[in-house]
Amino acid sequence: MEKITALCKRRGFIYPDSEIYGGYQGFWDYAPLGVELKNNIKREWWKSMVYDREDVVGFDAAIIMNPKVWEKSGHLKAFTDPLVECKKCHKRVRADQRFEIEKHEKEHAGKGSWTEPKTFNLMTEVLLGTTEPKEKAYLRGEITQGVFVNFENVVNSSRVKIPFGIAQIGKAFRNEITPGNFTFRSREFEQMELEYFVRPDEKESKDMFEYWKEERMNWYASLGMNKESLRFRDHEESKKAHYARKATDIEYNTPFGWAELEGIHHRGDFDLKNHGLSYKDPQTGEEFTPWVIETSGGVDRAMLFFLIDAYFEDGERVVLKLNPKIAPCKVAVFPLLANKPELIEKARAIYKILNTEYHCVWDDRGNIGKRYFAQDEIGTPWCVTVDFDTLKDDAVTVRDRDTAKQERVGIDKLNGWFSAKLGDR
Ligand code: ATP
């Protein structure tokens, strides 16, 4: 984990938030390469969940909502974690996190003595308005409710018919007791969620639950995540969230153990019923409260796990074998020598053309070997070198990150060569 954290800082993926003031626990800033990787993950998710389907529409709700939403959704009462306090030093830890408890007990060189678990609400409060007393509102603890409260608006203003889904990506905030493991548990993070509405039918909803479990697992694998490091884990009855009839996590095998990447939840009619919303079948006129199958993934966790999964060391070489679709930069363009204007001019022209299609990076520092190393470390799948032969044959050397193989490709064929490798976009 330390290697990933150091790489993220050194090469500009993720920095501690407000670092010059000592950072701020549970908050992170996404640096130039990190924001590209995160955006690519979100774009791939949106493509597979919205653009590639006819039964899903997109949405983007406000972060702050009328506080009544959280009262009705049950979050003000039940969105809690169990908290215990160390009787020796008063450190507070989540009672259900064995790893954190044991880590802390080691610090006291022996078994700790803890207070009885108390429930702790995770909602983050904000104060609004200019006159006292200010109005208390909340930063959303999950992005989900924005979709539910707009359910009837979406049905009435678009052509969706049950079964259909509403997809959303956005920030959520939780007053986590123990933020940690880098971005894994943060206080501000992003979620990518689908709420899929079906008829209130046991079999149909069960089938849909299984369908979405597979779809979501396949999505991670399709973007190169090692299947051996992924598994499903069903929630035990006692640990299920307050809204869930059935819940399964997709977990990833991290350096700190198996950890949740995404939750697939059967929310039944819990939310729509609480908000007093229903659906009228346009053909039959039948009115009912739909049931909901939810897929709820964390963008930051996905990014962290893609990074862990892609990290390889080969002697002194560090390679991020990220799937080209999510790699922050697709192609690096180099002139063989930085002091030959004719090479620079040619390389610049190629860079300009390729950069209109793919996010490219220009590098003319140091020697070619060093440039390859630098690109491998940030996961750039291909490097294009313009050399003296290019001036004669209008071809360049393309070097592959994973195999280190080099191939001569005509400049006029470059675009097609890369788009064939990248597949549909
Ligand atoms: P955990 O058990 O790890 O606290 P959760 O079961 O409460 O997570 P959900 O409410 O199901 O999580 O949220 C859906 C997804 O949002 C999670 O699978 C995770 O990817 C992401 N997520 C939740 N909490 C955090 C957090 N504090 N930091 C980063 N991502 C988070």
Q: Across the strands, what pairs with 56?
A: 165
pLDDT at 87 > cutoff 90: no
The average pLDDT across 364-393 equals 93
H/E element holding 127?
strand 124-128
Say how many Å lie between the CA of residue 292 and the centre of ligand 1.
19
Distance 297 CA to ligand 1 centre (A): 8
Across the strands, what pairs with 400? 382
Which atom of ligand 1 lies nearest, measured to the CA of 249?
A: 18
Sign (positive or negative) of CA dihedral 322, 324, 327, 332: positive
Pocket of ligand 1 (CB under 6 A): 142, 174, 176, 185-186, 189, 191, 260-263, 296-298, 300-301
| Tokens linked to 61 | 């709700």
Nearest CA owner, ligand 1 atom 12: 263
Ligand 1 atom index nearest CA of 259: 3
Characterize 55-77 residue by residue with b for buried, 16 or more Cβ atoms within 10 angstroms of its Cβ, and e for exposed: ebbebebeeebebebbebbebbe
pLDDT tens profile 5-55? 999 999 999 999 999 999 999 999 999 999 999 999 999 999 999 999 999
Tell me the domains of the chain and their CATH numbers: 2-79+122-310 (3.30.930.10), 331-422 (3.40.50.800)
Tens-place pLDDT, residues 226-277: 999 999 999 877 666 676 778 999 999 999 999 999 999 999 999 999 999 9
Can you give the pTM of this predicted structure?
Answer: 0.92
Q: From ligand 1's centre to the CA of 210, what distance in Å? A: 20
Residues facing residue 313 across a β-bridge:
318
| Ligand 1 atom nearest to 190, measured from its CA | 30
Per the prediction, the chain carries an average pLDDT of: 92
Per-residue burial over 151-171, b if 16 or more Cβ lie within 10 Å, else e, is bbeebeeeebebbbbbbbbbe
Q: Which atom of ligand 1 is nearest to the CA of 187?
A: 27
Q: Which amino acid is at 245?
A: R
pLDDT in tens, 119-139: 888 899 999 998 898 999 999
pLDDT computed for residue 247 by the predictor: 93
Q: Hey, is 149 helix, strand or coil?
A: coil
The pair of three-digit structure tokens given for residue 105, joined into one six-digit string: 């007990």
Q: What is the pLDDT of residue 354?
A: 92
DSSP character at residue 134: P
Q: Kindly state the percentage of the chain with pLDDT values over 70.
A: 97
Share above pLDDT 90 across residues of the chain, in percent, rounded to a whole number? 75
- Rounded Cα distance between 2 and 305, Å, is 14
The whole-number pLDDT of residue 122 equals: 87
pLDDT grade for 216, boundaries at 50, 70 and 90:
very high
For 380, half-sphere exposure in the C-beta direction (CA atoms, 13 angstrom radius) is 26
Residue nearest to atom 14 of ligand 1 (CA): 296
Residue with CA nearest ligand 1 atom 10: 142
Token pair in block for residue 356: 């209109």
92, amino acid identity = R
Show the tokens assigned to 363: 């590098």
Q: What is the DSSP string of 371-405?
A: HHHHHHHHT--EEEEE-TTHHHHSEEEEEETTT--
What phi and psi values does residue 328 have, to the nearest 5 degrees?
Answer: -60, -45
Distance of CA 15 from the midpoint of ligand 1 (Å): 21
Q: Whose CA is nearest to atom 13 of ligand 1?
A: 296
- Collapsing DSSP states into helix, strand and coil, what is residue 207? helix
Q: Give the angle 40-44-47 at the CA atoms, nearest 5°.
A: 135
Instruction: Calculate how far, in angstroms, residue 298's C-alpha sits from the geometric centre of ligand 1.
Output: 6
Residue 237 burial (10 A CB sphere; 0-12, 13-18, 19+): exposed
Q: How far is CA 158 from the centre of its chain?
A: 28
Model confidence pLDDT, tens digit, residues 66-84:
999 999 998 888 888 888 8
Q: Which residues contact 423 (CB under 8 A, 6 or more apart)?
A: 325
d(CA 282, CA 6): 56
- Whose structure tokens read 């009115």? 287
Query: Hey, is 245 helix, strand or coil?
Result: coil
CB crowding 315-324: b at 16 or more within 10 Å, else e? eeebbbbbbb
Q: pLDDT tens-digit profile of 308-333? A: 999 999 888 999 999 999 999 999 99
Ligand 1 atom nearest to 193, measured from its CA: 14
Ligand 1, residues 252, 296, 306: which to mutate, most atoms within 8 A of Cβ? 296
The protein residue with its alpha carbon nearest to ligand 1, atom 19, reads 298
Pairing of strands 135-139, 164-173: unpaired
Atom of ligand 1 nearest to the CA of 301: 20
CA distance 162 to 280: 10
